[in-house]
């Protein structure tokens, strides 16, 4: 039916699309066919005449901590532009709060962090809308909430923002869309609805039926959980170190779908001795079956496997105060301390309280293995035992202690959290990896992968810790990589081996000229490890090097780094 030329064009087009795009186009074309009247006028996906859409303006704002919302909103702004809609993109951290009343269309992409909290940079905006009663009757809005269904407070920030705008009298033009870690398809579908609304309100054309695109493709049963067995668990720090960092290898019977740069999510169990103490403090029968909003199980199992008993949120402690009718100051603490300091009067009070406890949240760990180097049925992680002081005693983080205590052959469940951006570039590109402490994890994976696949690009690794003798994580492997040339350079900073502290950023400064040469020649820069202060100090140093070696002003250096980030050549995996 099509002429040869048109058929060839069609084939060329088809080849350039992904499977998901083809599925969408399939639905789109069926809609056009279904809606094409006898006059043959075509309609768009939104049911309008296929003429360029208005030059309507919308505000698209994002609130992000690890960059997903920013990348997504940036992509959506481009999609809008292609459809003739001018999307003004803003980071909520920079957003002028007084502009809210001037907005007409306001679309928010925002993630949830911590324990149901807003991303740190968006906190000012979040607090502003939480604490002020605004009147926004002319505002049309919708919220896209990024989150992770494994967390107890799934998409809480998005929900809060959505609810506040409703309270301000704004008109929700598209329902709140909550997304799990595989957010792309849901986000695109949400934005199509957004654009449809914007177009509907701007073109004079009558409203045509909306073409139904193919349903969003979802993995059956949501996130995939793997059942693993601990194959190896060793402390990488030598005797005398201030730290304990575990190298943990987890094996599975099935292929684990992951790549270097991904993280895995693990939900830890609570310590049995702590649970026993809670049982004895409350006098509850450990075998009594209780029902929470998520699960029904005997008290002992509920307290070890399901509910969070560590560092309770102050909102949870308020509920305890109400149930036990006690005056408790605004604070956070472990359940065992709460029961010790403010005891329950009877087991009924405790039963009531257990029902409001939240599920245990997962913790993420960067993979330190590569399927190409270590096999597809294994994943490795590098876990620092988290230490802190509470109630005047040395305590340890729940998950890192749980993982460190896991003996070989014990069972563990995990899921893979894909990171599409913290990824090795093409094999011929050079990479600069800055990863002190557990920041080494993704780079052990990167370097092993580059070695196993014979990648031609050069590799430069900056590592730092306290002492060379006790804390050089993966020392033998890294030295081998340096000897065999897989690592073109390795620079080490052991902060406490000399009177003055030396950190990775000091080593970077020493090598500033060569480092800039690498960057200017196209190298990709990766930072991994603690966000504060490490990643911020490293970024400051990078800017200084770009300014100094690149003969740029401070502003030009910032622009240069921003461009690297935009090009995907500057990526962070920090926490």
Which range, of 13-21, 148-156, 382-390, 541-549, touches ligand FAD by CB under 6 A? 382-390
Give, to the nearest 10 degrees, the angle between helix 554-566 and helix 536-549.
120
| Identity of the residue, 311 or 467, whose beta carbon is nearer to ligand FAD in the bound complex | 311
Please report whether residue 28 would count as binding ligand FMN according to CB under 6 A: no
CA distance 106 to 176: 13
CA distance 372 to 253: 17
The partner in contact with residue 388, picked from ligand FMN, ligand FAD, none with C-beta cut-offs of 5 to 8 angstroms by kind, is ligand FAD
Closest CA to 479 of 492, 497, 466, 470: 492
What character string, x for contact with ligand FAD (CB under 6 A) and - otherwise, covers 196-215? --------------------
| Identity of the residue, 226 or 365, whose beta carbon is nearer to ligand FAD in the bound complex | 365
| Identity of the residue, 318 or 421, whose beta carbon is nearer to ligand FMN in the bound complex | 421
The partner in contact with residue 399, picked from ligand FMN, ligand FAD, none with C-beta cut-offs of 5 to 8 angstroms by kind, is ligand FAD
Q: How many residues does the chain have?
A: 575
What character string, x for contact with ligand FMN (CB under 6 A) and - otherwise, covers 107-146? ----xxxxxx--x--------------------------x
The partner in contact with residue 438, picked from ligand FMN, ligand FAD, none with C-beta cut-offs of 5 to 8 angstroms by kind, is ligand FAD
The helix (H) or strand (E) run that includes residue 388 is strand 387-390
Longest dimension (CA), the chain: 85
The helix (H) or strand (E) run that includes residue 504 is helix 504-510
Please report whether residue 103 would count as binding ligand FAD according to CB under 6 A: no
Please report whether residue 573 would count as binding ligand FAD according to CB under 6 A: yes
List 263, 270, 282, 304, residue binding ligand FAD (CB under 6 A): 263
Smallest gap from residue 371 Cβ to ligand FAD (A): 17
Smallest gap from residue 151 Cβ to ligand FMN (A): 3
List 140, 156, 164, 363, residue binding ligand FAD (CB under 6 A): 363
Residues in region 435-494 near ligand FAD by CB under 6 A: 438, 441
Closest CA to 234 of 439, 394, 381: 381
Please report whether residue 162 would count as binding ligand FMN according to CB under 6 A: no
Instruction: Kindly state the tokens that stand for 68.
Output: 């997903």
Cis upstream peptide for 48 (omega within 30°)? no
Which range, of 3-11, 38-46, 149-157, 459-467, touches ligand FMN by CB under 6 A? 149-157
Write out 335-370 in H/E/C secondary structure: HHHHHHHCCCCCHHHHHHHHCCCCECCCEEEEECCC
Please identify which residue in the block is written with the tokens 């698209």: 60
What character string, x for contact with ligand FMN (CB under 6 A) and - otherwise, covers 176-195? -----x--------------
List 48, 53, 59, 67, residue binding ligand FMN (CB under 6 A): 67
**Backbone angles phi and psi of 17, in degrees to 5:** -100, 150
Among all residues, whose Cβ is closest to ligand FMN? Answer: 147
| Identity of the residue, 162 or 471, whose beta carbon is nearer to ligand FAD in the bound complex | 471
- In a 3-state reduction of DSSP, which class is residue 526? strand
Q: How far, CA to CA in Å, does 409 sit from each of 265, 270, 412?
A: 19, 19, 9
Cβ-based neighbours of 490, under 8 Å, separated by 6 or more? 460, 461, 462, 463, 478, 481, 482
Instruction: Report yes or no: 512 and 545 within 8 Å, Cβ to Cβ.
Output: yes
Smallest gap from residue 471 Cβ to ligand FMN (A): 25
Instruction: Report yes or no: 417 and 364 within 8 Å, Cβ to Cβ.
Output: yes
The partner in contact with residue 65, picked from ligand FAD, ligand FMN, none with C-beta cut-offs of 5 to 8 angstroms by kind, is ligand FMN
Please report whether residue 442 would count as binding ligand FMN according to CB under 6 A: no
3-state helix, strand, coil in the chain (%, to 5): 40, 20, 40
Cβ-based neighbours of 16, under 8 Å, separated by 6 or more? none
Where on the chain is the footprint of ligand FMN (CB under 6 A)?
64-69, 111-116, 119, 146-148, 151, 153-156, 181, 364
């Amino acid at each position: 039916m099509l002429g040869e030329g048109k058929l060839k064009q069609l084939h060329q087009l088809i080849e350039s699309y992904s499977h998901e795009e083809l599925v969408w186009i399939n639905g789109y074309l069926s809609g056009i066919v279904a809606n094409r009247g006898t006059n043959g006028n075509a309609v768009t996906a939104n049911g309008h005449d296929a003429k360029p859409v208005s030059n309507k303006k919308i505000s698209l704002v994002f609130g992000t901590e690890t960059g997903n919302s920013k990348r997504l909103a940036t992509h959506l702004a481009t999609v809008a532009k292609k459809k003739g809609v001018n999307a003004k993109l803003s980071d909520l951290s920079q957003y002028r709060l007084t502009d809210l009343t001037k907005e007409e269309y306001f679309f928010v992409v925002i993630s949830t962090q911590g324990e149901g909290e807003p991303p740190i940079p968006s906190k000012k905006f979040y607090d502003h809308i939480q604490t002020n009663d605004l009147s926004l009757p002319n505002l049309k809005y919708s919220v896209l909430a990024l989150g992770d269904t494994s967390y107890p407070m799934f998409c809480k920030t998005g929900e809060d923002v959505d609810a506040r705008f409703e309270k301000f009298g704004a008109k929700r033009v598209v329902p709140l869309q909550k997304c799990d870690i595989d957010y792309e398809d849901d986000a695109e579908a949400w934005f199509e609805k957004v654009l449809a609304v914007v177009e509907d309100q701007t073109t004079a054309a009558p409203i045509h039926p909306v073409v139904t695109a193919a349903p969003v493709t979802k993995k059956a049963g949501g996130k995939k959980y793997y059942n693993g067995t601990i194959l190896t668990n060793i402390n990488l720090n030598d005797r005398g170190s201030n730290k304990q960092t575990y190298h943990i290898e987890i094996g599975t019977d099935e292929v684990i779908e992951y790549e270097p740069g991904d993280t895995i999510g693990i939900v830890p169990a609570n310590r049995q001795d702590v649970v026993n103490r809670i049982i004895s403090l409350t006098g509850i029968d450990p075998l009594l079956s209780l029902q929470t909003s998520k699960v029904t199980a005997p008290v002992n199992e509920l307290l070890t496997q399901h509910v969070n008993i560590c560092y309770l949120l102050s909102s949870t402690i308020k509920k305890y105060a109400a149930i036990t009718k006690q005056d408790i100051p605004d604070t956070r603490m472990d359940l065992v301390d709460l029961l010790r300091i403010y005891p329950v009067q009877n087991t009924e009070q405790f039963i009531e309280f257990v029902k409001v406890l939240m599920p245990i949240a997962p913790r993420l760990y960067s993979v330190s293995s590569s399927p190409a180097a270590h096999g597809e049925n294994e994943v490795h992680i590098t876990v620092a035992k988290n230490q802190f002081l509470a109630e005047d005693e040395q305590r340890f983080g729940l998950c890192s202690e749980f993982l460190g205590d896991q003996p070989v052959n014990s069972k563990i469940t995990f899921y893979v959290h894909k990171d599409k951006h913290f990824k090795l570039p093409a094999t011929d590109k050079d990479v600069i990896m800055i990863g002190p402490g557990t920041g080494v994890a993704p780079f052990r994976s990167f370097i092993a992968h580059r070695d196993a696949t014979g990648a031609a690009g050069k590799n430069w690794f900056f590592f730092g810790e306290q002492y060379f003798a006790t804390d050089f994580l993966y020392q033998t492997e890294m030295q081998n990589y340096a000897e065999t040339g897989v690592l073109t350079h390795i620079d080490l900073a052991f902060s406490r081996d000399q009177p003055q502290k030396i950190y990775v950023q000091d080593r970077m400064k020493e090598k500033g000229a060569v480092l800039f040469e690498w960057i200017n020649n196209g190298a990709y820069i990766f930072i991994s490890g603690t966000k504060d202060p490490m990643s911020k100090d490293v970024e400051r140093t990078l800017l200084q090097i770009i300014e100094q070696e690149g003969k740029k002003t401070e502003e030009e250096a910032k622009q240069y780094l921003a461009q690297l980030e935009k090009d995907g050549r500057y990526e962070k995996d920090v926490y």
